[in-house]
Amino acid sequence: MPRPLDLPFDPIDRAGELWETHFGPADAMRVATSIMRAQQLLLGRYDAILKPHGLTFARYEALVLLHFSRSGALPLSLIGQRLMVHPTSVTNTVDRLCAQGLVQRRPNPRDGRGVLAAITEEGRRVVVAATEDLMRDGFGLADSYDEEQLQELFALLRHLRVSAGDFTS
């Protein structure tokens, strides 16, 4: 796990004070910067938990998506759409999972030019074990928030995602 910085002050709040002096209202900057820092903290934690399984969080997300799919296989374009990542990122992620024996590429029977990524039995075993470890850790959030707070935080961030056009509510 990442080592705490143990600073005697909140650097984001201090930046907010300076922001207000130089630019004006800082609430949005404080929130945006806090979200970005939270992402860094959580990804570091997830990578430490997933590393023994040979996974990064991006590869874990792809495996979960394939594990949840009805047939265990999805077109690469659909994986990118569902994970909201660039096609190049999907190709790279699937290539790495294939090299690990967790996913196989298969021809898409519905599209002669298309390719499916299909989870292997080893991929299913790894994603279940990795998920157990992430759940045991509460996804790095259970120590900081209770269930009601988690639901409230999800609702607040969901609103941001809807406003950005990720999906329609």
The first and second tokens of residue 164, run together, are 């950005």
- Please choose, from the candidates 34, 41, 13, the residue with its C-alpha nearest in 3D space to the C-alpha of residue 157: 34
At 149 the pLDDT is 97
Mean per-residue pLDDT of the chain = 94
At 64 the pLDDT is 98
Q: Which residues pair with 117 in a beta bridge?
A: 74, 105
pLDDT band of residue 109 (cuts 50, 70, 90) is confident
Work out the average pLDDT over 47-76.
97
Q: Please state the pTM of the whole predicted model.
A: 0.88
Q: How far, in Å, CA of 114 to CA of 99, rounded? A: 20
Local structure of 166: helix, strand or coil: coil
